[in-house]
Structure 1
Amino acid sequence: MRAIIEAPVPIMLVDRLIRHATVGAAFLVPGLDRRAVERRARGREEARKLARADFAVVSYGKSGRTWLNVMLSRFFQVRFGLPEHSLLFFDNLHRKNPAIPTVLLTHDNYLRDFLGTGASKAAFYDKPTLLLVRHPADVAVSQYFQWRYRMRPHKKNLNDYPPHGAAVSVGDFVLRERAGLAKVVAFMNEWAAELPRLRRLLVLRYEDLRSQPERRLAEVLGWMGMSPTPEEVRQAVAFASFENMKRLEQRGVFRWSGVSMRPGDRANPDSYKTRRAKVGGYRDYFDDQEVRSIDDYVRANLDPVFGYGAPPGLAVAPERGRPVAVG
C-alpha cells in the first residue's frame, strides 16, 4: 500500500519549529537546564493544541490509548470514506472533513512545565475531556517494556526514566523505580482530585472497554455527538482487534500518521506497540508475595474513585467518574 503523507497545518508546523529552535538554542547557553527548556517548549505546544481542540483524550502512557484511537479512527474512516491509514492525530482528519472533530490525545506530561500549574487540571475544566484509565500495575508493567524495547534514549532522560541500557528488572522498575507503580498512582490521584471540576467529563476504564468494546465505543462516540450506527461500531471494533492491530503494526500501515506504531524488533513480541492487551497481566511477572504487595499498595494509595482495589460491586459512573454500585 502506498502511504500518503499528510502535511500539518501551518500553526502546528510553526509550533514544532519553535520548539526545535528553542531547544537547539539552549545548547548554546552554558549551564542552562536543557531538559527543563524542552519540557517547557513541549508544554507550550500542547497548550496551544488544547485551546484549539474540540475534545481532549487524557491517559497515562500504556493505558490503551492507541487501541481507542484506532477504533475512533476506523469509525471516521467508515463514516467519511477515508483510507485505512488515516489515524486520528489532532486535526489531520478534521482537515479532510470538517465534520470530524479535532482531538488532542495527551498524556498530560508537559503542560505543567509551561503553565506552572502543578497538579491542577484547570486547563481542562472547560474542555470536553475523556479520561482513559487502566489498572496501574498493568500500566507500570507495560511501561517497563516500553522503556526497555521502544523508548528512545532522549525520551528516557526527558521524562525521568532509568538511563538507557540500565540493568533494571521488571520487578525493580514496577516496585522501586520512580517511573513505576508509584508514579502511575500519583498521576491517577491527581486526576481523581480534579474530576468534580471538569464540566464535561467521560471516564473510561480500559478493562470495561476490553470486556464490552462495542458498548463502550458507542458511549464514547455518542458523548462526542457522533450518533454511531451499530454496524459502524462493529466495524471499528473488528478493525482494532488485537490480531488485526498486530498485523497493521507489522505492515507499517500507520507509519506516516504521527504515531510511533511499529515494532522495535520484529523478532521480539515485547517490542511491539501492540504487545499483550491482557487485563491483570501484571500478575504473570511477579510471585505471590510481590502480587500481594502491589495489590496492597494500590488499595492503600490509589483513590477508590476508579474502582481498582475497591470493594466488589463498585464500578465507575460513565459521566462523572464517581463510584456506583453495579448488580
Structure 2
Amino acid sequence: MRAALPQLIHQARRRARRSIVRLHLSLTRANHEQRLGAERQLRGREQYDQLQSADAVIVSYAKSGRTWLRVMISRLYQQVYDLPKDAVIGFDNFHYIDRRIPRLLFTHDEFIRDYSGNTSTKLDFYDKKVLLMVRDPRDVVVSSFFHWRFRTQPWKKQLSFYPPHGSDLSMFEFVQDDRSGLRRIINFMNSWAEELVNTRAHEIVKYENMRADPVNELARVARFLEIPASAAQITEAVDYASYENMKKKEAEQSFRTSGARLNPGDKSIPDSYKVRRAKVGGYRDYFEDAQIKVIDEIVTENLDSAYGYNQSKTADIKSD
C-alpha cells in the first residue's frame, strides 16, 4: 500500500485538473482541435512538473522495451531496499518509501514540448541525467501497430495522432503513415541522437543488447542510476523479468502500482498483451519481401547510423 499511495495521490490530482480543464473547454464551446491541444498541454505540464524534480529520466519511444526495463529496475530496488515484491516503480512512489531511492521519470517525450514550447530542442532535459532506451524502429512500428489496434483507447488515438479508431489500415499502411508510422519513430530517434550530448549526463541502452546480454546491460544501467546492487541481485532481477515470468504476471494482473500498464487489452487476443513476443528482428515475420525492402530502405536512408540499425549515415551520437 505504501508503494501505491504516491501514485494514487498523483492520479487523483490529475483527474481533478483534467476535469476542470474539460469543464472549461465545454463551457467555452471549444472545437475538437482546441480540445486536443489543451489536453496535450495539460499532460505536458504534468510531466514537465515531474521533470523539474526528477533525479534521472528514462526516455524511450513507446514499444521500445521500457516496461521490461522498468520491471528489472523495480526488482533491483525491491532487493536493495527491502520493498514490496511485484511493486512497480512509478515516479516517486519508491522515493516516498525510502528517500535514498531517486525519483525516476519514465517518459516517451510526447507531451512536454506542447507545454514548454521547446519543440526543436531537448532544452527541457539539458540539466538532467538521461537514460535513452532505443530499439530497432522496424520492430517498434510493428508493436505500435498492435498497440494501436488492440490496446489504445479511441480518445488516446486522437491525442497521440494515431489513425482514427476503427480505421481499416493494414500493417504496411500503418508503417507508411507519416504521423504514426516508421518515419515518426525515426524522427524521434534522430532528434535524441542530436541532442543527447547537451544533457548533464547520459547513457544509451539498446533493446537488442539487453536481449543478448541482459545481466551486463542491467549492471550498466544500475551503475548509471547509482543503484548499489550486487551481481547476484542483478542476475535475480533479470530472471524475475524474464519473458515467461512477465507474460505470466501480466495474465494474472499481479504487478502492483502499475495501473493498466501491465494488463492485457483482451485476454483472448494474444497480440493485445503488453508483453507480446520480445523477438529481435521479428518485423520480418509480418511482411512480404518487397515490403521488407521498402521498410529497410526507409531506415537506411533516414535513421542516424549511430544507433547501428543502418549503414548509410556517418554522424555519431555525440558523447562526453
TM range (shorter): over 0.9
| Preserved contact between residue 4 and residue 256 of structure 1 (Cα < 8 Å) | no
| Change in CA separation of 1:92 and 1:259 when aligned onto 2, cut-off 3 Å | farther
Question: Do 1:85 and 1:257's aligned partners in 2 also have CA atoms closer than 8 Å?
Answer: no
SS at match of 2:105: strand
SS of alignment partner, residue 104 of structure 1: strand
Give the superposition deviation at 1:178.
2.2
Taking structure 1 as reference, are residues 28 and 255 closer, same or farther at Cα in structure 2, changes over 3 Å only?
farther
Deviation at 1:259, TM superposition (A): 5.1
Partners in 2 of 1:113 and 1:67 — Cα distance?
28
Aligned residues: CA RMSD: 2.0
Q: Letter of the aligned partner of 1:249 in structure 2?
A: E
For 1:126, the equivalent position in structure 2 comes to 127
Separation (CA, whole Å) in 2 of partners of 1:138 and 1:36: 29
Deviations 1:237-279, CA, capped at 9 Å, x for gaps: 0010000000110111125424521111112110100000111
Q: 1:7 aligns with which of 5, 8, 15?
A: 5
Superposition map of 1:234-253 within 5 A = 234-253=235-254
Q: CA deviation at 1:199?
A: 2.3
**Is there any run of 5+ residues in structure 2 with no aligned partner, and where?**
none
Q: Secondary structure at the match of 2:277?
A: coil
Aligned runs of 1:72-83 on 2, under 5 Å? Answer: 72-83=73-84
**What secondary structure is seen at the aligned counterpart in 2 of 1:243?**
helix
Tell me the distance in 2 between the aligned counterparts of 1:163 and 1:4.
39
Distance 2:265 2:319 in 1: 36
Q: Tell me how far apart the structure 2 counterparts of residues 118 and 228 of structure 1 sit (CA, whole Å).
A: 37
Map 1:1-327; keep pairs closer than 5 Å: 6-8=4-6, 13-14=12-13, 16-32=15-31, 33-176=34-177, 178-254=179-255, 256-258=257-259, 260-310=261-311
**C-alpha separation between the residues in 2 aligned to 1:178 and 1:11?**
30
CA separation in 2, counterparts of 1:270 and 1:225? 36
Cα shift at 1:137:
0.8
The answer as to whether partners of 2:61 and 2:134 remain within 8 angstroms in 1 is: yes
Cα distance, 1:205 vs structure 2: 0.8
Indicate how the Cα distance of structure 1 residues 281 and 256 shifts in structure 2: closer, same or farther if over 3 A, else same: same
Give 4+ residue runs of structure 1 displaced > 4 Å after superposition: 9-13
Q: How many residues align?
A: 315
> Among the aligned pairs, what percent are the same residue?
43
Cα offset, 1:225, TM superposition? 1.3
After superposition, give the CA deviation of every residue in 1:173-216 in whole Å (9 maximum; x if it has no partner). Answer: 11235201011011111111112212200111111111110000
Q: TM-score, normalised by structure 1?
A: 0.91
SS in 1 for 2:27: coil
Instruction: Tell me how far 1:16 sits from its aligned partner.
Output: 4.9
Q: Tell me, yes or no, if the aligned pair for 1:16 and 1:45 is still in contact at 8 Å.
A: no
- Superposed CA offset, 1:95-143 (max 9, x none): 1111111100000000111001113101111100001011111110000
> Do the aligned residues in 2 keep the contact of 1:43 with 1:114 (CA within 8 Å)?
yes
Q: What SS does the corresponding residue of 1:8 show, helix, strand or coil?
A: helix
Flag the structure with higher helix content: 2
Contact persistence 2:6–2:96 (CA under 8 A): no
Query: What runs of 5+ residues in structure 1 fail to find an aligned partner?
Result: 323-327
